Amino acid sequence: MIDSTALEPLLARKAQIDKRRSDLAARMAKLGLEDASLEGEAQEIEVTLKTLSRVYGIELANQPEMRAVKNSGATSTKPNDAPTLFEMVAVVLKDWALLDDHIEGQFIYDEIKKRWWPDAPRNSIIPSLWRFANEGRLVKEGTKYGLPQKEETSDAGTSDVSSFRGDLDDEIPF
């Protein structure tokens, strides 16, 4: 029979691999947040450049062809089985809270598209984030959004989205 100490090197290596994979996942997520932030800024600059060039009649020479900006009037019906927009935002913010308390609006939008609403119009989601912040349901720092800090309660250490859900009584269906 083999002594359990013979397995220790394998267990130690497995723990190293798990730690390394966890570290890599965290770094990749952080890079995803940075990429979403840069993508949002690039889109805003493209719109500004197009607008200013039209207003002032300036031809932008030697510029790579800009991506077509989606029609700001585009509408899309939210899937019936999707949670409310605020619930989606709250879940995304909670899922990424270990990496950053405040997340770029573009990243939140991208996550909502991936998880619940593939054809969500950007111009419906991003302004809603701003509105949620004005209502006190979110905290806004620059272009980033986060959930407000909860007050200490008797069941400290637990957190749920329901405290931010207003009048809704049912649980998030996922």
pLDDT tens digits for the chain (174 residues)?
Answer: 778 888 898 899 999 999 998 888 888 877 777 777 777 788 788 888 888 888 888 887 665 554 444 434 444 677 778 888 899 899 988 888 777 678 888 888 888 889 988 888 877 788 888 889 989 999 898 888 988 887 544 444 444 444 444 444 444 443
Please check whether residue 79 lies inside any domain of the structure: yes
Domain enclosing residue 23, as ranges: 4-164
pTM comes to: 0.46
Please check whether residue 123 lies inside any domain of the structure: yes
Please check whether residue 170 lies inside any domain of the structure: no
Read off φ and ψ for residue 72, nearest 5 degrees: -65, -15
Please check whether residue 60 lies inside any domain of the structure: yes
Q: Which residues of 98-107 are buried (b: 16+ CB within 10 A; e: fewer)?
A: eeeebbbbbb
Please check whether residue 143 lies inside any domain of the structure: yes
How wide is the angle at C-alpha 52 spanned by C-alphas 50 and 53, nearest 5°? 65
- Cα–Cα distances (Å) from 119 to 70, 71, 86, 109, 154, in that order, read 11, 13, 17, 11, 41
Number of domains in the chain: 1
